[in-house]
Structure formats: structure tokens, C-alpha cells
Amino acid sequence: FLERPDAMERVSAIPFQRIWSQQDTNWDHYRSVCIAPVRTDFLIKREVFATGDSQSKATTAGAKLEMALKRAFEEDKSRRFQLRQRPAVKTLLIELAIVEVTPRLTAGERSNSTIRGSLAFEGRISDATTGQVLATMADRRLGPPIITAPGIGYWGHLDRITTAWAHDLVKALDM
């Protein structure tokens, strides 16, 4: 999804594994965000699906991430950014792609996935008017280690990870 993933690095203040940011960006200039539909087509191209329903679960994870982002911006107490349906002036365009989805195992199963399951994304934030890329990010997260009611089953980790990413992105932009 990202053209220059090698340009990203770890920044301890940002909760994602790797980021890159245009140094001269005036983030205070932006007053709203527009969230593009989360892409999952890279998973299809890479043929990474280990189980038959992984493709549909990746699409579901993309939709969950998009909804979680919208909800996180709407619920943000700082109200720094207004959520827009279409790109506009002084708007950040947020584009994300799910690039890996791994199911969690159930008791007694053996496969290439982990007991916790995982989800990885890549993303970019650009000026919605000019298209200039202002930041890129990538992260991979494991599902919760303890099996709880929402975490049971192959895909129980998707909700927690997508919600955490959404809140972390809002916090990072509020800095």
C-alpha cells in the first residue's frame, strides 16, 4: 500500500510501530478529517488467506476499522477535528489498508497462526486539497492473550485491535 515503507521509523511518542511525517507540516492548519474506505485488496493480491473465510473477515476488519475511526473522531473530547464525508479545504484525508489478518487458534488446533491472532495495517495522511502526503504509518497488533467472551473464536480479536488503532490515531493527531 505504501510507496516508501523504508522511510518510516519508530517514534516513541506515537503508538504505531513505524511512522514518517513531513517535517514542515503545520498540523494546526487542519480543522477536519475525511476517512476513505479502508482497503483490503492488497490481501487478495498477496493471496495470504489461510482459511476459507479470511477474505471476508479482512473485508469485515476494514469496515470495522473505518467505523471505529469515525466513532473515535466523533467521540473525541478535544473536538479538534470535524468529521467530513468529502475532502475539503483544511481537511486531512486518512487512507488505511489492512495488509495482514491472521486468525486466532482454538484449543488443540495447529496452524501457522498464533493463539492470539493478529492484524496489520499501513496508512497515509494527506492534505485533502493538494494530495500531498503528510504522514505515513504502519502497525501490527496481536489480539488479547486472555480468551474473553468477545475474544472467542477465530476472529474475536478484530474488534479490540481496530478500536485501539482508531483511538490511537485520534490521540496522535491531537498531539
For the question of whether the overall pTM of this predicted structure is more than 0.75, the answer is yes
Residues 64-79: tens digit of each pLDDT = 899 999 999 999 999 9
Residue 55 CB burial class (10 angstroms; 0-12, 13-18, ≥19): middle
- Residue 111 pLDDT greater than 50, yes or no: no
Cell of 15: 503508538
Residue 6 CA to residue 24 CA, distance in Å, equals 20
C-alpha pair distances (Å), 3 with each of 105, 122, 124: 33, 10, 10
pLDDT at position 105: 64
Residues 19-46: tens digit of each pLDDT = 999 999 999 999 999 999 999 887 766 5
C-alpha pair distances (Å), 165 with each of 9, 15, 45, 110: 18, 9, 24, 28
